[in-house]
Amino acid sequence: METKVWRVDPKSPDPEAINEAAEIIRKGGLIAFPTETVYGLGANALDETAVRKIFAAKERPAWDPLIVHICNLAMLEQLVEDAPEKFTELASRFMPGPLTVVMRKKAIVPDAVTAGLPTVAVRMPNHPVALALIEAAGVPIAAPSANKFGRPSPTTAEHVLHDLAGRIDGILDAGPTQVGVESTVVDLTKTPPVILRPGGVSKERLEEVLGEVIVASRPPSDVEAGLPSPGMMPRHYAPSVPVILADGNPSELLQVIERLKSQGYEPNQIGILMPEGWLTGEEGLVIFRWGRWSNWEEMAQRLFEGLRWLERQGVSVIVAPLPPPIGLGLAIRDRLTKAASTNSATNCQGNSR
Ligand code: AMP
Ligand code: MG
């Protein structure tokens, strides 16, 4: 199939493009669209056949559930059995925004969306294009990130086309996304609530509303033992070359680089996600200027672009320093740790839940 590209203004998208894309969603097709976090690959969440096309296009295993995107709280009533009290305050603080809430689902939500779970993950994206598309489609839109399964998430339309051109009906291109890492997924069916995936809303900000929250522990290295939650596969967000992590300071980073050189890597085979002002004297390395260390928002925004850019330069290995688990640093750590994991996700298929 040919993938149609509509270039739209991120703040006030052309209604004609939105209506055309919305019509495709209503007819059961697939549209990639920008959100404030990353680009999503959307289908009508209430149309099981359409939802299955998402899994096929991404080569995503059926056990990994999708997030359902809504444009107002009225849409939520279709999807969830009475939302818990805590939800109201979360919604008033963070919706629209990079927060996904897991709640008990209604029967109308197809099993294909939730991977057979009794819960559904819902979010209201804070992006005029995403909101306009959902509104025009008139249905909730199920959308994972618009990348091939396991790859770094797309923060530009070019990233989406690199992975999915010819596999999806169209893409609304509104330029690079703002947050750059995915939404925080919080499970409100548990007490205290559990962060299943750290993301665009920090743990600290969630705690202001929820009190104590628990961050789900990393999956066991033996994935055959079963995952505590879907979407927690060890290797994910990974470029096609190995990612090596360094502790978060220049001298540790330098040590890793020296070790790689002693193993026979030439400097021009080594790609670095390099914080501003670090190791300025090192010659010949392939450098992606990541941003100011401790400005975790900026570094989150540029993380996936950095991984994909270094991959395109043809490096043999990518080295990244690991931020501390503060603010969006927690989400960056999560993505980098999974990108660096050598444990493949594909062994999880047999998990019973
Ligand atoms: P993505 O494909 O990047 O949009 O990620 C969607 C993620 O949301 C999944 O991989 C899960 O981690 C999480 N998720 C979605 N639905 C549920 C659910 N019902 N229960 C728990 N986690 C969910
Ligand atoms: Mg994803």
Question: Average pLDDT in the 289-294 region?
Answer: 98
- 109 phi-psi bin (left φ>0, alpha ψ -120 to 50, beta other): beta
Sheet-wide strand order for 170-173: 4-7, 170-173, 31-34, 39-44, 141-142, 67-69, 119-123, 99-104, 184-187, 194-197, 214-215
Question: Average pLDDT in the 64-80 region?
Answer: 97
Question: In sequence order, what are the residues at sequence separation of 6 or more whose Cβ sits closer than 8 angstroms to the Cβ of residue 247?
Answer: 321, 322
Determine the pLDDT at residue 67.
Answer: 98
Atom of ligand 1 nearest to the CA of 105: 19
How much is the mean pLDDT over the chain? 93
14 CA to centre of ligand 1 in angstroms: 31
Say which DSSP state 324 is in.
P
| 129-133, 224-228, 272-276, 330-334: segment of lowest average pLDDT | 224-228
Determine the pLDDT at residue 249.
Answer: 97
User: In angstroms, rounded to a whole number, what is the distance separating the alpha carbons of residues 111 and 105?
Assistant: 10
- CB 150 within 8 Å of CB 235: yes
Question: Average pLDDT in the 258-269 region?
Answer: 98
Question: Average pLDDT in the 22-46 region?
Answer: 98
| Residue 148, CA distances (Å) to 16, 41, 98, 167, 214 in order | 29, 10, 21, 10, 30
Q: Whose CA is nearest to atom 9 of ligand 1?
A: 231
Determine the pLDDT at residue 231.
Answer: 58
Question: Average pLDDT in the 29-34 region?
Answer: 99
| Ligand 1 pocket check for 126: Cβ under 6 Å | no
User: In angstroms, rounded to a whole number, what is the distance separating the alpha carbons of residues 138 and 345?
Assistant: 35
Determine the pLDDT at residue 224.
Answer: 43
| Ligand 1 pocket check for 147: Cβ under 6 Å | no
Determine the pLDDT at residue 228.
Answer: 54
| 87-101, 126-140, 214-228: segment of lowest average pLDDT | 214-228
For 102-123, give the DSSP string: EEEBPTTS-HHHHTT-SEEEEE
Question: Average pLDDT in the 279-289 region?
Answer: 94
Q: Whose CA is nearest to atom 5 of ligand 1?
A: 144
User: In angstroms, rounded to a whole number, what is the distance separating the alpha carbons of residues 56 and 196?
Assistant: 24
Select from 196, 229, 237, 348 the residue to mutate for testing ligand 1; criterion: most ligand atoms less than 8 Å from CB. Answer: 196
Count of C-beta atoms within a 10 Å radius of residue 217: 9
Question: Average pLDDT in the 309-318 region?
Answer: 98
| Residue 259, CA distances (Å) to 21, 269, 277, 310, 340 in order | 50, 13, 21, 20, 17
| Ligand 1 pocket check for 185: Cβ under 6 Å | yes
pLDDT tens digits for 155-170?
Answer: 999 999 999 999 999 9
pLDDT above 70 coverage of the chain, percent: 93
Among residues 236, 251, 240, 248, the alpha carbon closest in space to that of 273 is found at: 248
